[in-house]
Amino acid sequence: MYTDAATTKPSGVNLTTPYSTWRITRTAAGTSGKVVAYDLGSNQWVKAADVTPSYGSNLTVSDMPQGSVVYSDFKDVTVYSDMQATKPVGKLSTSYDEWTATQVANDNYYGAFTYNLGNSQWVKVSDISLTKPASGVIVVNAGTSVFDSVGKYTGTITDPGAYKVFNVSYINGKQSLQVGDFYQWVAASDGAYYPD
């Protein structure tokens, strides 16, 4: 275990108890949005790669906004026929990175667990990312709407010009570009995007 979310400071304590399951109190995500660590309470962090989150059958399915996309980083991610991800049926092609997502299965406690890529082809949230690194610039006008990574309006661009792009994501079904922190996204269609 670690005392920090970055899992760089070992606590000197291991999970060597008679228990095999622990409640997750918080998660830490990397820059790609993927969960990288879990807090088991009181800053007792474990690396996401070292444990397997267990989700109950208490999943609820919600439609994602039309045009939603997830990224596989060209990896052969396992595809399941069920939202609980217990019945593997194949792998995603490594020739593609961008996949349309139609639904998300959420656990009432832990949040998003799997995405449906259509026709009951479910992938685990832990294997997929909602954002992907990008580069280049987007040229926007003053007054262009700015929103956070979940689509909540946070303000407008005050100075027109070219803004550096850090990540791309589909937010509210629209291709969106991160031009600052996770509270600073603009729709690609609201400007002229020039990728590197």
63 and 123 co-located in one domain: yes
What integer pLDDT is reported at residue 181 of this predicted model?
82
Listed residues 129, 158, 185: the one ending a domain: 129
- What CA–CA distance (Å, rounded) separates 196 from 193? 10
Give the other-Cβ count within 10 Å of 156's Cβ: 13
SS3 at position 132 = strand
Phi, psi torsion values for 190, nearest 5 degrees: -90, 5
Global pTM value: 0.69
Average pLDDT along the chain, 196 residues, taken 10 residues at a time = 91 78 75 78 86 72 92 96 93 97 86 92 93 96 94 95 96 93 92 96
Listed residues 78, 109, 129: the one ending a domain: 129
157 and 188 co-located in one domain: yes
Give the other-Cβ count within 10 Å of 10's Cβ: 12
What's the distance, CA 84 to chain centroid?
18
67 and 122 co-located in one domain: yes
What integer pLDDT is reported at residue 23 of this predicted model?
72
